Amino acid sequence: MGIDALVFCDCLEKGCLRRPPRPEWQVYVQEDGCRECASTEPRLLAAFGNWHETACAHDYGILIHRRLDLPATSPFRQALADAGDRLGLVRRLLCSGDHDSGCLDMPLVGRLAEELKWLRQSLPAHPAAEAGSLLQRLEELAATALAVSKPLVF
């Protein structure tokens, strides 16, 4: 079982767009960090969708996307089991199955980064390839979210 996780860019907020949104779209940033159109008019929604896809250097505003797969047996899974409550957010992301259209806000992303730091120190010096790769993807997601002050979406 795996999940897709991503962080949206901050190009709208920083004014780094290829072309600005049209005022009638009433563009705003959703709680998950994605750009959205407040208009309900079909032709404006269609125009917004076309703009949104290529508004900046990131397709649909997705700055980073990673697939997270937890192998059935791995040093990573063993570390999760041994950690108890210390890795609550990591466990929530990878093991709970409760990750349909959710996101971690900035305080939780900061907590996740701390959990990942602890996990990195707890894994063997040379973790199995899949465990090391999974941890690296999680670290990339958390670092990116913190760098642009955007939630981690899963």
List of residues 6+ apart from 37 with CB closer than 8 A: 25, 26, 27, 44, 45, 48, 49, 52
Q: What is the pLDDT along the chain (154 residues), one digit of tens a residue?
A: 678 999 999 999 999 999 999 999 999 999 999 999 999 999 999 999 999 999 999 999 999 999 988 766 666 777 777 887 888 888 888 776 555 568 999 999 999 999 999 988 877 665 666 667 888 999 999 999 999 999 999 9
Using CA of residue 65, residue 143, residue 139, residue 31, what is the dihedral sign?
negative
CB 30 within 8 A of CB 39: no
Q: What is the pTM assigned to this prediction?
A: 0.87
